[in-house]
Every structure is written in structure tokens, then in C-alpha cells.
Amino acid sequence: MPASVPPPSPVEESGSLVMRFGAAVGLAVGAAAACSVPASVRVARSLPGMALEHTWVALAAASLVPMLAAVIVLRAAREGLRAFAGPGANLRIFGVGLWFAWLVVLLALFGSGLRRTTHQHALAGVTFACGAVALALGLGVTCARVVAILRDARGEVRRALGAALAVGTAGAIGGIGLAFLRAVANDPSSVPASGMVLDMLGFVLAAFLASRRSVAAFAVRRTLALIGPPLAVALMALGLASLKDTSLLAATNDRAPAFVPAIDLLARP
């Protein structure tokens, strides 16, 4: 019996540390530019005469360093998970994603019900905390059982069940998202809070996509390593110049509070 040969390392793992870091910088520039678009639109609309490009460059520069840190951390986490995943890793990841998605749905429904029926905020907070723990534990047991059922099922049945669960979960998340948008539309005072939620979700999604190894083939990584650092320097220079506008800073406080901590570190004494 011939000895098993370990699979070759992926192409994206080759290359020097400098190239990998340069590629990460390039990906972070693109992710920061993408995730700052919704907030830039909100801020620009609140400032008549303010160019969208002006706010976009400022907010993209503010999110660049946190995005680079997130990309690097997520890549390192992926390597650690890959080392300890073992067989059946895809099903376990599916189970964790299912648990997290349904936990968001159930907590949103639970919190909405408490808001309608409970008028004492302290009692509602304690009830929500206890209920959240119970929901997390119960849902974790349920998802573990679902993963065990999928693991024991035949290939066709496993794919059909997995697809049905994914579609149902996506529908539930979409319903919660629509309810969230309707609530925001009916309550203009909640725009800053809703904007923070959307900006944080956009940041997390952009960082997750930028940290994927599949987007970093050797030719792409080499290009990103060459153009990424100069683009990052140019973006930071233009962004710092834009962040000297006091009206822009005030509008960002009102319309995009998720960017304020990074702006405080960059542009304010």
C-alpha cells in the first residue's frame, strides 16, 4: 500500500510575507471602499452641496485600518480552523451558521414581543437576557441534532435537506430584514441606530469576503501586492484632507456613528 502523499499547499499560500501583506492591504482598500458606500450616501444627502466622492473617500479612509486588521485576523483564524477542522468540517460549519442565523431571528422576535408587552425597561432587559441564554442553549442542541441527522443521511437526501434548511433560513432572515426596514421607515429618529447596524453588517461582510483565500490566486495577489500599498497611502492622504471639514464630521456623527471611533483616532486631537 503506497504511502499517502499530503496534498500540496494552495497556490495562495506561496509567496513572501511582503507579498501576502501587500495583497492583504489591497484587499482591505477594496473592502473599505465597498463597505463605506451606504454611509457615504447617507452623509452626503444630509449635506446639500457636498459631493458624494468627498464623503466616500473620507469614510473609506476611516475604515481602512480596522478593515486591514479584520482581514489579517480572519485569515489567521481560517488557517487555525483549517488545521483543526478534520473530516465533516463543512457540516459543522453549516450547523454553526444555522445556529447563528436562527438565533438572530428568534432574538429579534423575542425582543419585539417584549417591547410590545413589557413597559418596564429593567424587567424587559433581564427577561431578554435570560431568554437569550435559554434560546442559545436550546437552539445549539437542536442544530447539533440537525448536523447529526445530515451526517447520517444519504448524499441526495443530505443535499435536499441542506438546501431546504438554507432556503428557509434565508427567508426568515429576509423577513426580519424587511420588518427592520419598515420600522426604520416609520420612525425617522431611528435612522442613526439603523445606519450603525447596516454599516457594521457591511463591514463584517466585506471583511469576510476579502479574507477568503479563493480570491487571492497568485497573479491576483501579485497585482494587489504592487498596487495595494500605494492605493492605501493615497486613500489615507485624501481621506485625512477630507476629514478636516467640520460639517462632514458633524454629519458623520449624526448619520454614520459606526465610523466615529475611527475618525476620532485619525482626525481629531
> Taking residues 77-86, what's their average pLDDT?
63
- Smallest Cα–Cα separation from 213: which of 86, 78, 30, 22? 78
pLDDT at position 198 is: 80
Rounded to 5°, the CA angle 46-203-44 comes to 15
Whole-number Cα distances in Å, 192 to 5, 35, 110:
55, 16, 23
Under 8 Å between Cβ of 267 and 70: no
| Chain-centroid distance, C-alpha 60 | 15
- Smallest Cα–Cα separation from 221: which of 34, 76, 17, 9? 17
pLDDT at position 14 is: 47
Given pLDDT bands bounded at 50, 70 and 90, which one contains residue 190? low
> Taking residues 228-235, what's their average pLDDT?
92
pTM above 0.75, yes or no: no
Given pLDDT bands bounded at 50, 70 and 90, which one contains residue 213? low
Q: Which of 21-30, 52-61, 260-269 has the lowest mean pLDDT?
A: 260-269
**What's the CA gap between 62 and 180, in Å, rounded?**
27
pLDDT at position 15 is: 54
Report whether pLDDT(27) > 80.
yes
Report whether pLDDT(57) > 90.
yes
Report whether pLDDT(225) > 50.
yes
Given pLDDT bands bounded at 50, 70 and 90, which one contains residue 9? very low
> Taking residues 8-35, what's their average pLDDT?
75
